[in-house]
Amino acid sequence: MIHHVKGKLVELELTHAIVDIQGLGYFINIPMSTYDRLPRVGAEVALRTHMVVREDDMSLYGFASEEERKMFRLLVSVSGIGAKTATAILSSLPVNNFCDAVLNSDIKVISKISGIGKKTAERLVVELRDKVSTMVAGKVIGATVDIEIEDEAGSAAVNDALLALETLGYRPDKIRKVIKAVVDKMDKSKIASEDIIRQALAELNS
């Protein structure tokens, strides 16, 4: 399995890039989100990759960030979602926005993606909701919300608080904003889920 590639970018199109590594050209399928972040042709480039192997084909998909690759792998784990559809989803919505749509069960937004109908959008929400919640452990993702916790215990505390408040029926988008405000005021070395939940509930119920 090819984990990543680093070499000279010799060709760049909306749907693919060709990277030369010591005279060997790698054809790499890319989403628009990655295309927008690549340098000009002729420059050095590094891409995280995922290889898809079938009986009649072997394809390489590349991503500018680990976040994109993780989302791609989550998407292709869903029944009926192949690599091309996963790439189309990443090309249509930033990872942050897609996560928001899944966590908020926003079928309307997801079904607007080319090739995704209402039934497929519903399946994506059902199969990815828990996985997306786990993926954002320690990093509360939203269009305007971003919490980074370097400490592993702190990351787990944030994620536990997020899941606990979701279980209580609060809206995911509102929860994440409140948790961000609460965590921003805390000593990052002493974060506990109980403290986050208690302070977040006070804010949510005020």
Position 143 confidence tier, pLDDT thresholds 50, 70, 90 = very low
For residue 104, the domain's CATH number is: 1.10.150.20
Q: Is the pLDDT of residue 10 over 80?
A: yes
Q: Give the residue numbers spanning the domain of 153.
A: 136-206
pLDDT score for 62: 96
Q: Is the dihedral of CA 134, 182, 175, 145 positive or negative?
A: negative
The 10s digit of each residue's pLDDT in 13-24 is 999 999 999 999
How many domains are contained in the chain? 3
Q: Is the pLDDT of residue 50 over 90?
A: yes
Least confident of 55-69, 136-150, 156-170: 136-150
pLDDT score for 57: 82
The 8 Å CB, 24+ separation contacts for 14-19 are 17/45, 17/47, 17/62, 19/45, 19/47, 19/62
177 shares a domain with 141: yes
Q: Is the pLDDT of residue 137 over 60?
A: no
